[in-house]
Structures are given as C-alpha cells and as structure tokens.
Amino acid sequence: MKVFVTGASGFIGSAIVKELIDAGHQVIGLARSEKSAEKIRNAGAEAVEGNLTDLEIVKQNALKADGIIHAAFSHDFMNSNDISQYPKAAELDRIAIETMGEALMGTDKPLVVTAGLLGLPLINGKITEESIAENSLRFSEATALKLAEKGVYASVIRLAPSVHDIGDYGFVPFIISRARKNDVSAYPGNGSNRWTGIHRLDAARLFRLALEKGACGALYNGVEDESLELKKLAEIIGEKLHIPVEAVSGEDLNEHFEWLAHFITMDCPVTNLKTKEQLGWEPVNIGLLKDIEKNYF
C-alpha cells in the first residue's frame, strides 16, 4: 500500500514511517523543510515538501495514495507559550483533514486521523471508545467522524497525553522544564487526576493496524494499561531534581504551568479494551512511569 503520512519527520510520525516500511508499505511523507525531507528519505520513504497550509500539495498526494495517516499538528502555541494560538492550529488541522477526506470521497481508501483523549467525557468512570468529544478545542475527531458519515473510510486514534520515548518533547519534558525553572515540582489541586501514556513504538503499530484493518467511523484509544497520578509524577520529578514538591492552584497554577495550565487539571482515566479486541493490538514497550524514571533525566 502507498501511504501518505503527514508529520512524517516528527516524533510520532517518524516511528509510523518506520513501522509502515518494515511492514512492506511504501510511504510518501509530507516535509516542512529540506531538513525534514532528508530525514524522511533517510528512513526509506519518499518526501514531498510542504505543510498543512499547502492544501493543493496535500490534496494531490492524498489522491496518489492508497491510504493516509494524518499525524501532523501545529505546535506553535507550545513554542510561543501562547495557548490562544491553539484555535488557529485546530482550524488548520480541520481544513487539512477535510481536504484529504474530499480526495478520498467515493473510494474505500483508509484515512487515519490523530486526536487526543484529554477532556473526553467519562463513561462509568472511564474514557471508553464510546466517549465522544464535545466542545473540544481540537476538531480532528469530529471532522473525521463527519467524513465517515459521508462515506469516507475514516477512523480516529485518540492518543494519550504523553506519547513517550527517548526524544520526547511533549507534556512531560515541559513539566520537568517548569520544575527546573521554578525550583519546585508542582501538581494541580490534590494531584489525584490521572494521565495516561503510550510508547511511541506502540502508537506507531496502532496506526498501522488501524490503516490495515480499521473500521469506518471507528474510535481507537491509544493508551497503555496503567495511568499515572499527577502528584506521583511531581514526586518523581522532585526526587530526581532534588527540589520540593508542592500543590498549586489558581493563579499560581497558571504561572507555574503557563500554556499547559489549561490541560494539567484534566483527569484522563482510559480503557483500551475495545481497541485491543478490534485491532489485535497490545502495548508491549516500557510504560510511562518507568520510561520517565529511566530516560527523562
């Protein structure tokens, strides 16, 4: 299968590209720069330069492909420490997904879209595959489901807040950097809210399986089996950095966590049972807690 992958040079996307090639697929990777393109080519894939705003490039490569994995998302809000930039990234994401979906209209070619788990409603105390995003700041899931209703063979992988491995530059490294900067390892409220993780190699395999045998309109929860309380995470960071551990709330929370303050208070207990059953997937790599302790300091 010839697969068009957005975000192909990124932390998650590069693992997806390797997983696909190892399974015998051809890959066309969208590259934002010549440096990214070189990385994609070195992985054994074809690279095409462009980004999500280059809709004609996105459309033409979607038309050439037998399937699509959309792993790109603008993280300018992280780089600028300005959460107000998030809606701009979400809108860009929505338009790109619609563009790819329209290219696949009338075919049975799969489109696998990336979304998140934070903020989804709990069902009997857990986020399940039946939990549907409502009033989410990110439109990925809703856009993919609308395309599925129109006949596009779209499915969604909702990733854990922490996709972890050596080289991670996401939430956990940011939390560690705030602890270093402020000389205190903080957690929100009583710290009982839970975050989940998924190793990026497990995530990459999940994307491949969804591409190969996912169901139209399906929602898959990309999480490992254990969750981590935010207080426990703060305690690990405090121990590793030899700094005090403190609860924060209100303005202190906003000052300490900056743009992440919007997300850090969310509780994210998740079940992945249906995802495992439907795709024959199992997380097999090191878990979030052990990965942090071993590789993040």
Dihedral pair phi/psi, residue 219, rounded to 5°: -115, 125
- Position 262 scores a pLDDT of 86
Q: Per DSSP, which regions of the chain are E strands?
A: 2-6, 26-31, 46-49, 67-70, 110-116, 153-159, 162-164, 185-188, 194-199, 219-222, 227-229, 245-248
Q: Per DSSP, which regions of 181-266 are E strands?
A: 185-188, 194-199, 219-222, 227-229, 245-248
Instruction: State the pairing for strand pair 2-6/26-31.
Output: parallel
Q: What is the DSSP letter of 84?
A: G
Domains in the chain, ordered, with CATH? 2-164+197-225+270-285 (3.40.50.720)
- Position 87 scores a pLDDT of 83
- Position 251 scores a pLDDT of 96
What six digits make up the tokens of 222?
């990309």
Three-class SS state of 177: helix
- Position 83 scores a pLDDT of 67
Mean pLDDT by 10 residues, the chain (297 residues): 97 98 98 95 97 95 97 73 76 96 96 95 95 84 96 97 94 96 97 95 98 98 95 97 97 95 93 97 96 96
- Position 89 scores a pLDDT of 84
Q: What is the residue-averaged pLDDT of the chain?
A: 94
Pick from 1, 75, 61, 63: nearest CA to 29: 61
